[in-house]
Amino acid sequence: MTSSPAIRVRGVVKRYGATEVLTGIDLDAPRGEVTCLLGPSGSGKSTLLRCIAFLEETSDGLIEIDGEPLGYGPGSNGGRVRLPPASIRAVRSNIGMCFQQFNLWPHMTALGNVSEALVTVRKFSRGEAEARAMAELEKVGLAKRATHYPSELSGGQQQRVAIARALALEPKIMLFDEPTSSLDPELTGEVLNVMRRLAETGMTMVVVTHEIGFAASVGSKIVFLDHGKILVEGSPTQVFGKPRHARIDQFLDTYLDRGAAGLL
Amino acid sequence: MSFDLGLLRTYGVEILVAFGVTFLIWIAASALGMIGGFAVAVARRWGPAWVAWPLRAFVEVIRGTPFLVQIFLLYYGGPFIGLSLDAVPAGLLGLTIYGSAYYSELFRTGFDAIPKGHLEAADCVGFSRVQMIRRIIVPEMTMLVLPAMVNMTILMLKETAILSIISVPELTLEVSSIGSAHYAFVESFTILALAYWALVELCGWAGRLAESRLSRYRFAHS
SS3 (DSSP) at B23: helix
B1 domain-assigned: no
Residue of A nearest to B214 (CA): A107
Interface test with A, best of B120, B125, B135, B143 (most A CBs within 10 A): B125
Residue B186, in any domain of the structure: yes
Query: Tell me, what CATH number does B142's domain have?
Result: 1.10.3720.10
Q: What is the pLDDT of residue B222?
A: 36
Identify the domain containing residue B120 by its residue range. 7-220
**What is the full DSSP assignment across chain A?**
-TTS-SEEEEEEEEEETTEEEEEEEEEEE-TTSEEEEE--TTSSHHHHHHHHTTSS--SEEEEEETTEE-SEEE-TTSSEEEPPHHHHHHHHTTEEEE-TT----TTS-HHHHHHHHHHHTT---HHHHHHHHHHHHHHTT-GGGTT--GGGS-HHHHHHHHHHHHHTT--SEEEEESTTTTS-HHHHHHHHHHHHHHHHTT-EEEEE-S-HHHHHHH-SEEEEEETTEEEEEE-HHHHHSSS--HHHHHHHHHHS-HHHHHH-
* Domain assignment of residue B73, yes or no: yes
B125 and A101 within 8 Å at the Cβ level: the answer is no
Asked if the structure places residue B108 within a domain, the reply is yes
Residue A1 has pLDDT above 50, yes or no: no
Tens-place pLDDT, residues A181-233: 999 888 999 999 999 999 999 999 999 998 888 999 999 999 999 999 999 99
DSSP 8-state symbol, B170: S
Query: Could you give the count of Cα atoms lying within 13 Å of A262 in the half-sphere of its Cβ?
Result: 3
More confident residue, A61 or B211: A61
Asked if residue B126 is part of any domain, the answer here is yes
What's the pLDDT score for residue A2?
52
**Full-prediction pTM beyond 0.90?**
no
Q: Is B117 exposed, middle or buried (0-12, 13-18, 19+ CB in 10 A)?
A: middle
CB contact under 8 A, A106 and B217: yes
Give average pLDDT by consecutive 10-residue segment, chain B, 222 residues.
72 88 96 96 92 95 96 91 90 96 96 94 94 93 91 95 92 88 85 92 91 66 38
Q: What is the pLDDT of residues A142-152, one digit of tens each?
A: 999 999 999 99
Beta-carbon contacts below 8 Å between A and B: 76
B185 lies in some domain: yes
Which residues of chain B neighbour A158 with C-beta distances below 8 Å?
220
Residue B2 belongs to a domain? no
CA dihedral sign of residues B140, B145, B150, B155: negative
- The CA-based dihedral angle spanning residues B194, B197, B203, B204, taken in that order and rounded to the nearest 10 degrees: -130
State the Cα–Cα distance between residues B198 and B192, nearest whole angstrom.
10
Residues A116, B125: C-beta atoms closer than 8 Å: yes
Please state the ipTM of this predicted complex: 0.91
How many domains does chain B contain in total?
1
